[in-house]
Each structure stands twice: as structure tokens, then as C-alpha cells.
């Protein structure tokens, strides 16, 4: 009887969940960031930008958005790296948490902080159109007066998307990739003045342009 009771107690103990540390890898997030930023190819493959662009983004978030290193030692570079890994590859939080050795709750919180910071920069980089004739056109006989009413240029691009399986067909582009079709307009000084996102990858460029013009 005593043996069976002991076995029951042991079994019950094994069923009780324990808080066993699992983010214990020696390759912590900050070391991973340093390693990736040391190689242009790896940086672009992981974060979709070159190291100098990555550093400029981090500096901008520090200077204009007040984002600082956390009290537990997480750097701004590490925060931006987690954010970019999610938006660039639609990476699951659990995978990012394992890669950077932080809890999923921490990763989720950091991504929201960086997303809000980048969103706050939109008035600086997305400007309302200027109806005046651009100086670059006025000062060039080759362009003026032929392009005096030209206020910029428009183009479209496909951005990888993560969508529910029920609508994946609509978002599949001509290269058989799941994307959204984005339309952007920029001024002659390369500042974005208009951006339309969210269209299905199968949507034709002319349809998106027509819809944008009629808004």
C-alpha cells in the first residue's frame, strides 16, 4: 500500500507544471544582432536592409521617438531586430523569442513599442503634395515647361503578406507568391507623398491606380 501511495505522489508531482528556465542559450539576442550586423549579406537577408540603414533607423528612433535601452539590458538594436524579423518574414513570436532569448510577452511588447515609434515618424517622411512647380523642373530647360505640372512619380511594388488560408488565392501574385500590392508616390526630392497598401497581390496595377485617383 505504501509503495502505491508513493508512486501516486510522484506521478502527481510530475504532473505539476514547473517554471523551468528555457531561454538560457549563450547566444543572447544582443550577441546575435552584433554578429548579423557584421555581415552585409546576412543583415539584408534577415532584416531586409543594409547595416548602415539599420543603424540609421535605430538612431532615428532614439533621437525622435525617445526609445532607449531597457532596464534589463535589451538594446534598441535588439528591439529593432526583433521587429524587422517579424515584419520582413512574418516570423512567429515563439520563433523570435527563441532566436533572441526573450519571452513571447517581451517580444510582443517590444514589437508594439517599435511599431508605434515608426508610425510616429510618418509625418516626417510622408508629406502632403506640393502643387507648386518643383524647383528641379523650373531650373532645367530640358524639363520646363514640358513637365511643369508634374509633382512626382508613382510606382507599385509587391510586399510579402501573411493572410488567412481562406483568402490566400486572392493574394497570390503572378509569381505564385502571397503578397499585397502597394502603390506609392514620391516627390522629386524622393520624399513619399502618398502610399496605398493592402490590395491583394492578384490586383492589377491599373485597378489600384484608378481606385486611388477616385478617392
Calculate the average pLDDT of the chain. 84
Contact 114, 96 (CB under 8 A): no
Taking each helix axis as running N to C, give the angle between helix 29-37 and helix 40-47, from 0 to 180 degrees, rounded to the nearest 10. 120
All three cell numbers of 6, joined, read 508513493
Reported pTM: 0.60
More confident residue, 5 or 119: 119
Peptide bond between residue 145 and the one before it cis (omega within 30 degrees of 0): yes
Q: Is the pLDDT of residue 166 over 60?
A: yes
What is the DSSP code (8-state) at residue 128? P
- Whole-angstrom Cα distance, residue 3 to residue 181? 68
Average pLDDT over residues 177-194: 87
pLDDT, residue 67, reads: 94
Amino acid at each position: 500500500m505504501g509503495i502505491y501511495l508513493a508512486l501516486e505522489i510522484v506521478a502527481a508531482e510530475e504532473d505539476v507544471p514547473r517554471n523551468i528556465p528555457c531561454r538560457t542559450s549563450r547566444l543572447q539576442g544582443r550577441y546575435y544582432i552584433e554578429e548579423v550586423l557584421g555581415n552585409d549579406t546576412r543583415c539584408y537577408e534577415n532584416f531586409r536592409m543594409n547595416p548602415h540603414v539599420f543603424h540609421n533607423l535605430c538612431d532615428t528612433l532614439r533621437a525622435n521617438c525617445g526609445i532607449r535601452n531597457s532596464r534589463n539590458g535589451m538594446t534598441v538594436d535588439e528591439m529593432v531586430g526583433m521587429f524587422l524579423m517579424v515584419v520582413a518574414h512574418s516570423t512567429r513570436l515563439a520563433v523570435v523569442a527563441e532566436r533572441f532569448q526573450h519571452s513571447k510577452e517581451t517580444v510582443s511588447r517590444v514589437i508594439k513599442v517599435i511599431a508605434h515609434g515608426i508610425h510616429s515618424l510618418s509625418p516626417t517622411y510622408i508629406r502632403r503634395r506640393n502643387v507648386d512647380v518643383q524647383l528641379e523642373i523650373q531650373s532645367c530647360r530640358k524639363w520646363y515647361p514640358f513637365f511643369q505640372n508634374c509633382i512626382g512619380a508613382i510606382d507599385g511594388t509587391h510586399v510579402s503578406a501573411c493572410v488567412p488560408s481562406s483568402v490566400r488565392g486572392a493574394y497570390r501574385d503572378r509569381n505564385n507568391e502571397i503578397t499585397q500590392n502597394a502603390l506609392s508616390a514620391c516627390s522629386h526630392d524622393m520624399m513619399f507623398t502618398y502610399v496605398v497598401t493592402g490590395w491583394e497581390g492578384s490586383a492589377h496595377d491599373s485597378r489600384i491606380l484608378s481606385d486611388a485617383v477616385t478617392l
